[in-house]
Amino acid sequence: MSIILLASLVFLLMPIGLLVYIRSYNRHKKNHFFEKESMRQKFESEILKTHIEVQEQTMQTIAAELHDNIGQLLSLTTLTLNSINVTENEKASEKIANSLSLVNKSIKEIRELAKILHGEQIVESGIGNAIEQELSWLRKVGTYQLQVNNGLLDLKNASADKDLIILRLLQEIINNIIKHAQATFIQIDTYLKGDTLFLTVKEDGIGFNYDEAMVNKTGMGLASVEKRVKLIKGKIEVNSVPEKGTSIFIEIPYP
Amino acid sequence: MLKLFSVNSLIEFACLIFALIFLIRDKSIFWRITLAYIFIVVFTETFARYIGKVYHSNLIVYNIFTFVELTYITFAFYCFLKDFLDIKKIIIPVYLILLSIYIVFSINNNMILVYNAITISVMSVVFVIYGLMYFFLLLKDEKYIDLKFHPAFWWVGGAIIFYFGGTLANFFDDIIQQKFLGKFIPRYIIYTTLNLFLYGFWSYSFICRARQRKICR
C-alpha cells in the first residue's frame, strides 16, 4: 500500500518537475527573445540612419549641382541679358539668342536634377535602377573612366531594406574613392548568382594599408561599410595595395 | 449538515470563490464555462456526499459527472491547443472514442454500483498527452510568453499534475479504496493532495486571467 502511495508521490512530483523545467527553459527563451528584439531594433535604426544618409547624399548632390552648374548658367544669362543694348539690334539679337541657349541648358540641367531627386525613390523600383542612377551621375562628372557591368537591372525579387543598404554601400564606397583614392579608373560589377548578390568595385588609386587603417580607425568610411555588410549578413573582402589601387568584393544573401 | 463538507469539497469551494471573484466579469466563453464547471464540481461533491449518506452509494453521481469532466477538459485543451495547430482533427475523434468507452461501460455495467474507472483511466492518459503536447508546443513556439502570469500555463499545469499524479490511483483503484492507512483510505489521501494541486493551480490561473483581462482592456 505504501508503495502505491510512494509511487503516486513520484507521479505527482514528475509533472511538478516538468513545470519547473519549462519555467527555467522559458527564462532562457526570454533572454533569447529580448536579444532578437534588440537586434531587430538595431537593424531598424540602422535602416533609418541609412535612409537619412541617402537623403543627405541626394541633397548634397543637388546643392552642388545648383551652385556649380545651374547657378552659373543663370548668372551668365543675367549678365548676358544685362549687357544688351537695345539700340544695337544685331548684337542684341545675338545676345538674346545666347541667353535663350543658356536658359535651355539650365532647363535641361534642372530636368537632370529632377532625376536625382527621383533616384532616391527609385530604390523602390529596383536596386539595379538605383545603382544605374547613381552611376550615371558619376559618369556625368567626367572625372573618372568608368567600366560598369550592372546585372541587376531586371531583377524579379527585391528586398526593400537590403536595397537601401546596398545603395548606401555603393554611395559610401564611391565617396571614399572620390575623397581619398585619387583614382582615374573605376570598375563596378553587380550581379545576382543564385541567392547571392555580388558587388565588386575596383579602382586604380593610391591604395592604403587596410590593417593599419582599421587599427588606427582612420578608415571610418570603410568601417561603416563593413558594419552595414554584416548587418545584412553579407561578406566583404578588401584588397588594397599602396600605389596600385583597391578592390572591394561584397557578397550579400539576396533577397 | 457540517459533515456534508469534506476537505475536498472545501478545496473546491475555495476554488469556486476564486472563480467567482476573478471570472464573473469575463466575457470569454471558455472562462465562463470554467466558472460553470467549478460550480458543477462543488455541487457534485456536496450532492454526492449527501447521496452517499442517504443511499450508501454515490457512484452514480460521480459516474454522471465523469461525462461533464470529459467534455469540459477536452474543450479546455481544444481552446489552448488551437492557438498552435489545427487540433480539431485530433481532438474530436479522440473525444468521440472516449465518449464511446464511457457509454459502452455505462450500458454494460450498473452505473449505481460500478465506478467508471476505465473511462477515467483512459481519459487521464489522453489528458496527460494533451498537456505534454501543449507544453511541447509552448516551448517550440518562437513567441515569448511570461509564464508567471499566463493563465493557460497554470491551468494545464494543474490538470497535468492531477491526471498524471492520479494515474496509479486510477489503475489500482480497487486496492486503494479498500485498504486503510491508519485512519485514512489511501485513495482519499491521494485525491485530496491532487485536488489541492489542481484547484490551487486553477485558482491561480483565474487570477492570471483577471490580470490578463485588465491589461488587455
Give percent above pLDDT 70 in chain A.
Answer: 94
Residues of chain B with Cβ-Cβ distance to A1 below 8 Å are: 175-176, 179, 181, 186
Return d(Cα B95, Cα B88) in angstroms, integer: 10
The answer, yes or no, to whether residue B2 has pLDDT greater than 50, is no
Average pLDDT over chain A, rounded to whole?
A: 84
Same domain, A131 and A208: yes
Give the mutation candidate from A16, A19, A25 for the B interface (greatest B CB count, under 10 A).
A19
| Per-residue confidence (pLDDT) for residue B152, from 0 to 100 | 95
- Cell numbers standing for residue B188: 482519499
Give residue A118's domain range. 51-125
Return d(Cα A190, Cα A149) in angstroms, integer: 6
A168 vs B180 pLDDT, higher one: A168
Same domain, A120 and A132: no
Same domain, A164 and A58: no
The answer, yes or no, to whether residue B176 has pLDDT greater than 80, is no
The answer, yes or no, to whether residue B1 has pLDDT greater than 60, is no
B52 touches chain A (CB under 8 A): no
Residue A55 maps to a domain: yes
Return d(Cα A169, Cα A138) in angstroms, integer: 15
In this structure, are residues A127 and A99 in contact, taking their beta carbons and an 8 Å threshold?
no
Last residue of a domain, one of A104, A125, A146: A125
Same domain, A166 and A88: no
- Residue B3: which pLDDT band, with cuts at 50, 70 and 90? low
Same domain, A96 and A217: no
- Residue A118: which pLDDT band, with cuts at 50, 70 and 90? low
Give the mutation candidate from B132, B142, B154, B168 for the A interface (greatest A CB count, under 10 A).
B168
Give counts: helices (H), strands (E), chain B.
9, 0
**Per residue in B13-69, pLDDT tens?**
999 999 999 999 898 999 999 999 999 999 999 999 888 888 888 889 999 999 999
Return d(Cα A108, Cα A114) in angstroms, integer: 10
Side-by-side strand order, sheet with A145-150: A145-150, A185-193, A196-203, A245-253, A235-241
Residue A110 maps to a domain: yes
Are residues B164 and A30, on separate chains, in Cβ contact within 8 Å? no
Residue A11 maps to a domain: no
**Per residue in B146-166, pLDDT tens?**
889 999 999 999 999 999 988
SS (H, E, C) B30-87: HHHHHHHHHHHHHHHHHHHHHHHHHHCCCHHHHHHHHHHHHHHHHHHHHHHHCCCCCC
Residues of chain A with Cβ-Cβ distance to B172 below 8 Å are: 4
Query: What is the average pLDDT across A147-172?
Result: 84
Surface-to-core class of residue A130, CB atoms within 10 Å of its CB (0-12 exposed, 13-18 middle, 19+ buried): buried
Query: What is the average pLDDT across A173-198?
Result: 89
Are residues A26 and B194, on separate chains, in Cβ contact within 8 Å? no
- Cell numbers standing for residue A168: 548606401
Same domain, A107 and A227: no
Residue A20 maps to a domain: no
- pTM here? 0.66
Return d(Cα A167, Cα A55) in angstroms, integer: 11
Same domain, A172 and A80: no
Same domain, A138 and A243: yes
Same domain, A144 and A57: no
- CATH assignment of the domain containing A217: 3.30.565.10
Residue ranges per structural domain of chain B: 2-216
B149 touches chain A (CB under 8 A): no
CB proximity list for B130: less than 8 A, separation 6 or greater: B77, B81, B91
Task: Work out the minimum CA distance from B114 to partner chain A, whole angstroms.
Answer: 22
Task: Work out the minimum CA distance from A188 to partner chain B, whole angstroms.
Answer: 41
Same domain, A121 and A132: no
Residue A12 maps to a domain: no
Closest listed residue to residue A14, CA positions, set B130, B163, B203, B133: B163
CB atoms within 10 A of CB B189: 16
Q: How many residues are given for chain A?
A: 255
Same domain, A193 and A89: no
- The total of structural domains in chain A comes to 2
Which of A19-33, A225-239, B7-21, B178-192 is predicted least confidently? B178-192
The answer, yes or no, to whether residue A120 has pLDDT greater than 70, is no
The answer, yes or no, to whether residue A218 has pLDDT greater than 70, is no
Measure the CA angle with vertex B185, ends B184 and B188; round to 5°: 95
B159 touches chain A (CB under 8 A): no
Same domain, A161 and A96: no
Return d(Cα A154, Cα A157) in angstroms, integer: 9
Task: With residue B89 as reference, give the H or E element that holds it.
Answer: helix B88-108
| Angle, in degrees to the nearest 10, between helices A160-176 and A127-141 | 20
DSSP for residue A219: -
Residue A77 maps to a domain: yes
**Per residue in B56-102, pLDDT tens?**
888 899 999 999 999 999 999 999 999 898 999 999 999 999 999 99
Return d(Cα B205, Cα B155) in angstroms, integer: 6
Residue A175 maps to a domain: yes
Q: Are strands A185-193 and A145-150 parallel, antiparallel or unpaired?
A: parallel
The letter for the amino acid at A142 is G
